[in-house]
Amino acid sequence: MESLSTRTVPGAQAIARAALLLRLVTSAGEGGGALHELAVKAGLSRSTAHRLLSALRAEGLVDRDEETSRWMPGPELFLMGSVAAARYDVTAVARDIVRSLAVTTEESAFLSVRRADETVCLLREDGSFPIRSFVLSEGVRFPLGVASAGLAILSFLPDHDVDAYLGRHTDLDDAWGRPHSESPLRKRIAETKARGFAINPGLIVEGSWGIGAAVFDRVGRPNGR
């Protein structure tokens, strides 16, 4: 759905589409994203997606592997991220805690933060257990309510914010399966609030369970997991 700003500010729609493609490229993992995959996820035609990605490539924001033709983050993003990290990076504070969790549990441990209606994984530390899940790694994004991190954060938002979020995302079950439709998701939200932490019983990848607890900021908002 277009916001008022994207309808009235000249060029805003193109910027919004380019920004979405940037997020999709950075969340595609080390192997990058194929053009058709990025186009489908962005809701764009292949030609429009290719045009925007080519423009971003010209600015150094994305790159294209000549052998695989897959798109991945460009060098300019690294430079921008290095500057932004001075203000927004929380990994220096969290890394020892996440590593301690991985050592203690022998399982993989993660730190994800909220970004608008999604969670973004910032840290991954693997434990010593020989079987590992690769559902989540640095840069991977999930909608709120999907995976244990998103469920933990969504569950502790004010009720009106939860209602507004579910109103904006009525198609979660189309992308993530029937357990993510509104009724079962609201049930898991209530269970999470009562329990104090979220459980993902293999809803994304069968057999891969996750546990998540929200991290609150100074005014009590759940912004991380």
State residue 224's pLDDT score: 63
How many CB atoms lie under 10 A from the CB of residue 188? 21
Superfamily of domain 90-224: GAF domain (3.30.450.40)
Amino acid type, 121: C
Please tell me the least confidently modeled range out of 22-26, 85-89, 120-124, 145-149: 85-89
Say whether pLDDT at 22 is over 80: yes
Residues 79-106 have a mean pLDDT of 82
- According to the model, what pLDDT value does residue 141 have? 87
- C-alpha dist (Å) from residue 73 to 19, 128, 181: 12, 30, 32
Domain spanning 4-79, CATH architecture: Orthogonal Bundle (1.10)
Rg, the chain, Cα only: 18
For 114-149, what is each residue's pLDDT tens digit? 888 989 888 899 988 877 776 778 888 899 999 999
Distances in Å between the Cα of 44 and the Cα atoms of 10, 173, 176, 192, 193 are 19, 21, 20, 36, 37
- Sheet of strand 222-224: strand arrangement: 141-143, 118-125, 109-115, 222-224, 215-216
More confident residue, 74 or 86: 74
Residue 2 confidence (pLDDT): 42
Q: Compute the average pLDDT of residues 155-159.
A: 93
Mean pLDDT calculated for residue range 11-39:
89
The pLDDT value recorded for residue 71 is: 95
> Against a cut of 0.75, is the pTM above it?
no
CATH 1.10.10.10 range(s) for the chain read: 4-79
Per-residue pLDDT, 10: 65
Portions of the chain given CATH number 3.30.450.40? 90-224
At 155, which helix (H) or strand (E)? helix 147-155
Tell me the pLDDT tens digit for each residue of 32-67: 899 999 999 999 999 999 999 999 999 999 999 999
The pLDDT assigned to 82 comes to: 76
pLDDT surpassing 90 at residue 88? no
Measured in residues, the chain has a length of 225
